Chains A and B, each alone.
Chain A
């Protein structure tokens, strides 16, 4: 079991939702859906170990998340936020190369193996073509893929994505979900992504975690989410 949550509550001071029980296998895709402001980003931060749960037990690969050292955790979990502003001089390759930072030595060098991993992460996200362009000059959609490539280069077991599809057009969005599904299987990596696109979540995710109404958080297999009422809040 990659992720195991028992009665976890999260938030900054008071819990944002009912206690959550959730088990996720390695290689699965979990879609996190809910209205704006329901607590999706806060939950992702909690899963990424940047915010301690208020209560309950949160285990990653059978070990409490709080027991991991900072560097150790960065080899297991990466959180990707699309709103990040990249510095003006940074090229795509330099940015993706940051993903190897947790593995680097004292002087932050990169081995030949690291360079190979960077190359294949850029290939996976289809950004090799503009490797030497500046991140700040890319379109929003291109930049999102570069941000994802950094996380892939980090070779984590748990990839947390905060609305990775926010800036993408429909073909790109479909492509993203297909790619994430494929990568999670190939690399045995679990992906938890928040999204507003419920129909994509239903089609491409293995399970759905939904803020169904004020303070209610429910978890179910994607194939049964609609009949169990997890998506009724999103119906037009």
Chain B
């Protein structure tokens, strides 16, 4: 209990401190006094902080949900082909010139990831074996990547450049108008998942066990997968395909909080994810995916090694 409270307090302080640092630092020097009047603050720095916070929270919660539902520590929006689905739809709109009208990139990403989720769900209803599902998800991912590479060969240099830079991920692409749409999409995903805590806590032991606890498994499984896909889609649309956070952060949360209760793990993962995303966002001049992996992998390996030495794993 004390560990949990301490963890929440320390991580919240990290999030606040890193947000502050991101807001006051940047290539252009803005004096502290004039900060709030400066357009740089409202149009560049605030959206950047919002993007990092929302993406960190969304990817971690999405990854945790997928891992729990599929009872597999490797599950995540990337492994299940859901991020690929989003990428494919975005590639269609950027490379093949298929407009998605006023829905734009977000709409495309949402449609793509939901289609991939529907496919994954369909497969999971047919095969109750979760390993089959992961293999199927990987295969779907490869198939979609192949389709994207075809689109790449057929596209002109300019749209290709746009797509490739989108593919590296960035917190700098969010505009101040986009913040609200991103925040709403993330809130919707979080509500769907938050309403299913009782299911998530039983789900780690299998569908039959959860049903024995009086949980309507098929309903809540759909709610959680829908929520987790919306989260992954929103991040893909606004920040590009951001790898790594979804799969790694839940493990960091298990180790820090030493709990399997989603009442602790969901907020815990969200805070860990926001912290790591803000840390990676401190270096905006480098590709986000590269920085995330360069910053994140050592942190998580260090935690893993430390806890193994203590016999924690």
Contact = CB atoms under 8 A, between A and B. Distances in A.
Interface residues of B, number: 26
A101 B260 CA distance: 14
Contacts of B194: 107
B20 interface: no
Contacts of A222: none
A107 B260 contact: no
Interface in A58-113: 70-75, 78-79, 84-91, 94, 97-99, 101-102, 104, 106-109
Interface in B244-267: 254, 258-263
A98 B213 contact: yes
Contacts, number: 68
Nearest to B71: A87
Contacts of B159: none
B212 A108 contact: no
B177 to A, nearest CB: 34
Interface string A104-129: 10111100000000000000000000
A99 B209 CA distance: 11
A34 interface: no
Interface string B289-300: 000000000000
Contact of A102 (B205, B208, B213): B213
Interface string B186-220: 00000000110110011011101101111110000
Contact of A84 (B197, B209, B254): B209
Contacts of A85: 205
Contacts of B261: 94, 97
Contacts of B263: 107-109
Contacts of A94: 259-261
B260 A91 contact: yes
A87 B201 contact: no
Contacts of B216: 70
Contacts of B313: 88
Given A90-B204, A91-B260, A107 B212 contact: no
Contacts of B197: 106-108
Nearest to B73: A88
A53 to B, nearest CB: 18
Given A87-B260, A94-B261, A108 B201 contact: yes
Contacts of A109: 263
B41 to A, nearest CB: 37
- Chain A interface category by residue count: 20 to 34
A73 B213 contact: no
B39 to A, nearest CB: 42
Nearest to A94: B260
A72 B211 CA distance: 12
B249 to A, nearest CB: 14
A119 to B, nearest CB: 15
Contacts of B215: 70, 101
A189 to B, nearest CB: 16
A99 B212 CA distance: 10
A106 B262 CA distance: 13
A50 B259 contact: no
Contacts of A102: 213-214
A48 interface: yes
Contact of A101 (B71, B206, B213, B259): B213
Across the A-B interface, give the 6 residue pairs with the lowest CB-CB distance, nearest first: A74-B214, A71-B214, A90-B260, A108-B198, A102-B214, A101-B213
Interface of B: 71, 194-195, 197-198, 201-202, 204-206, 208-209, 211-216, 254, 258-263, 313
23 contacts: A48-B212, A50-B211, A70-B214, A74-B212, A74-B213, A74-B214, A84-B206, A87-B205, A89-B254, A89-B258, A89-B259, A89-B260, A90-B204, A98-B202, A98-B205, A99-B213, A101-B198, A101-B202, A106-B197, A107-B194, A107-B197, A108-B197, A108-B262
Given A70-B216, A75-B214, A94-B261, 7 more contacts: A70-B215, A73-B214, A84-B205, A84-B206, A106-B197, A107-B198, A109-B263
Interface of A: 48, 50, 70-75, 78-79, 84-91, 94, 97-99, 101-102, 104, 106-109, 154
